Chains A and B, each alone.
Chain A
């Protein structure tokens, strides 16, 4: 029993398999001293306290049961509760419908926006493609034009004669403003 003097102390730091310390071998645990008059007084007080407490708790229990009973009984006027419920459900449905309408409106607008943007993008692409193709066409035409003045093996001799006949002087300098200076010899 708990009041037995030779008892293993409650283990804090040590495990249950660790032996007690040698310094504690002669230790005898005694229960705390009890004053008999005080004990009587305290027991009487406890008895009184338990009486009052149990009475109070019984009161609380009765109160809770009463409340439960009232709740159960007052639920019998279910007609107006049902009506209330239906009204609230109807209102809820209206709200839902309204929100749905707004949401659909928004989604429709967004879909339209998307389509318009897509169309715009496609148009821009098409235009770019067109411009690109036109550029290429122009280049091709220009090349064709230039091809007329190309030197071929047949016109080679004629062109050489031509160049030799008209000597061209490329001796000119250019200053920072881009003006051409033909006078190369310092005089």
Chain B
């Protein structure tokens, strides 16, 4: 287990996102911390970072320290849902089911909107 100077009763290590940055400019640090700590508070180790806003080339950039990630996961750290999703997208862990489900839903919604767009276009086109 992990020992902290703060002395919690219970709790566990989590790998989660700590929010930083300025107004209208978020920036996440991927961090291994005790679960009872504040989101942006003292952490055990920083394992990477994520910039949620796309850059000039339209890419969203993230950095990961896979070596240390393996160590922490092997020592029994838990993951938060967005951290799991990010690692699934990165390929380090298997893809999260909700990523796939979300993509399917989006695709269906787009198809439905496409059909709804063409069907009323056909209607007024054929009627007059």
Contacts and interface: CB of A to CB of B under 8 A. Distances in A.
State whether these chains interact: yes
B74 A61 contact: yes
Interface stretch (A52-60, A117-125, A177-185): A52-60
- Counting contact residues on chain A (CB < 8 A from B), the size range is 10 to 19
Query: Which of B75, B94, B101 has the largest number of chain A CB atoms within 10 A?
Result: B94
B101 A38 contact: yes
B99 to A, nearest CB: 10
Nearest to B84: A53
Contacts of A38: 101
Query: Which of B70, B71, B76 has the largest number of chain A CB atoms within 10 A?
Result: B70
A64 B96 contact: no
B116 interface: no
Nearest to A57: B73
Given A60-B73, A64-B74, A42 B97 contact: yes
A42 B101 CA distance: 7
Contacts of B75: 61, 64
B74 A49 contact: no
B100 interface: yes
Contact of A49 (B70, B73, B97): B97
B93 interface: yes
A63 interface: yes
Contact of B94 (A52, A60, A61, A64): A52
A60 B101 contact: no
A61 B101 contact: no
20 contacts: A41-B101, A42-B97, A42-B98, A42-B101, A45-B97, A45-B100, A46-B97, A49-B95, A56-B94, A57-B73, A57-B74, A60-B71, A61-B75, A62-B74, A63-B70, A63-B74, A64-B70, A64-B71, A64-B74, A64-B75
Interface of A: 38, 41-42, 45-46, 48-49, 52-53, 56-57, 60-65
Interface of B: 70-71, 73-76, 93-98, 100-101
